[in-house]
């Protein structure tokens, strides 16, 4: 049985690496996730959102503020 070639197989793509603010957001979010106590991620995200709305912080600034709070011993409440 003969099979005709359809075309060349494209080389696998490298994953797109974020740059700039997107990369900084990703790095900060990963640090916050690592610092968050087990089972408290929803509470951490609620605090990030609260800071964004109440204090008008950017997403990056809110994540950095919550990371600082976690580093100082703050434990977020369990979100419902």
Instruction: Report the predicted TM-score, pTM, of the whole model to 2 decimal places.
Output: 0.74
The string of pLDDT tens digits covering residues 10-53 is 767 777 777 788 889 999 999 999 999 989 999 999 999 999 99
pLDDT in tens, 57-68: 999 999 999 999
DSSP codes joined into one string, 9-49: PPPPPPPPPP-HHHHHHHHHHHHHHHHSPTT-HHHHHHHHH
Altogether, the residues listed in the chain come to a count of 80
Q: What is the pLDDT of residue 78?
A: 80
pLDDT of residue 6: 66
Mean pLDDT of the chain: 88
């Amino acid at each position: 049985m003969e099979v005709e070639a359809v075309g060349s197989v494209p080389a696998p793509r490298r994953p797109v690496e974020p740059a700039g603010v997107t990369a900084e957001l990703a790095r900060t979010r990963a640090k916050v996730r690592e610092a968050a106590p087990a089972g408290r991620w929803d509470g951490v995200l609620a605090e990030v959102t609260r800071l964004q709305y109440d204090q008008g912080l950017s997403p990056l600034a809110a994540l950095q503020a919550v990371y600082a709070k976690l580093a100082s011993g703050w434990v977020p409440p369990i979100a419902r």
